[in-house]
Amino acid sequence: MNKQPIGIFDSGVGGLSVMREIIKLLPYEDLIYYADSANCPYGTRPPEEIRVLAVKVAAFLLEQGAKALVVACNTASTAAVAHLRQRWPGVPIVGMVPAVKPAAAMTQTGVIGVLATEATGRAPVLLDIIDRFATDTKVLIVAPPGLVERIEAGQISHPETTALLRQYLDPMLAEGADALVLGCTHFPFLRPTLQKIAGERLSLIDSGEAVARQTRRLLEQAQLLNPQTLPGQITFYTSTDPIQLAPVIARLLGYTSIPLVLQNCG
């Protein structure tokens, strides 16, 4: 069982920002990545619908022999991770939440921003974290429409993407925000653009590394770490046209090309 791959999924290419952290921390693990880009964005859907999509993808990854699952998507995690754990109690499943806690701990001005999807922005889980860890902090939550789609199209530094970000960041900066939580896994790919807009005034915080550490912890506990000492293999699947998506994935990961297999989960 420990030689089986780790299954990682997202509504699209965003989860690759988590996957690259997992590769750094667990280089000998084989990985299967599923980009549900035909159904992206998840963030504009109601939670029940997100849950149905997440179950289908999780079931597919487990059919491929995944020994553990990483829900590399804040939106799917907030809507579905509890349900997935209930459905597959024997499988280590890592979920994620926006990194509000470290942002609230580091802010000097007492104002932080959260850049998320619409669904995550109104999720009870997020509001609960804010209640628990950011009581004395002003938390500005924004969900720019169409931003996830732009990243799916590979337009991470397109002038229109920059203009959209500026529209949401400028008011936040004017209110004194000094930390920005990247509460959607698509957004770490915007780091250079965000930094260009905000300069050094704004610390950008995402949960990718924490998710990789939690993945390692759960595999260790379950004695599921892969004993091989060769670099792990990655297999990519998507529900959308692989010809269009493969170059975007390759560019985001800094690879020259990737083989991508079309697999509809129904």
Report the distance separating Cα 63 and Cα 73, nearest Å: 20
- Are 41 and 34 spatial neighbours (Cβ–Cβ below 8 Å)? no
**Backbone phi and psi for residue 228, each to the nearest 5 degrees, phi listed first:** -65, 155
- Residue with smaller CB distance to ligand DGL, 161 or 226: 161
- Residue with smaller CB distance to ligand DGL, 147 or 226: 147
> Six-digit token pair at 131?
């209640």
User: Of all residues in this chain, which one has the CB nearest to ligand DGL in the complex?
Assistant: 43
Task: Look up 265 and say whether it is catalytic.
Answer: no
**Residue 77 Cβ vs ligand DGL, minimum distance, rounded to whole Å:** 8
Half-sphere exposure at residue 37, Cβ-oriented, CA atoms within 13 angstroms: 32
- Residue with smaller CB distance to ligand DGL, 117 or 162: 117
**Residue 12 Cβ vs ligand DGL, minimum distance, rounded to whole Å:** 6
Q: 157-182 burial, b if ≥16 CB within 10 A, otherwise e?
A: eeeebbebbbebbeebbeeebbbbbb
**Residue 131 Cβ vs ligand DGL, minimum distance, rounded to whole Å:** 20
Residues that bind ligand DGL (CB under 6 A): 10-12, 14, 40-43, 73-75, 117, 120, 148, 184-186
- Residue with smaller CB distance to ligand DGL, 79 or 202: 79
Among residues 18, 32, 73, 253, the one annotated as catalytic is 73
Task: Look up 184 and say whether it is catalytic.
Answer: yes
- Are 184 and 141 spatial neighbours (Cβ–Cβ below 8 Å)? no
Query: What are the residue numbers of the active site?
Result: 73, 184
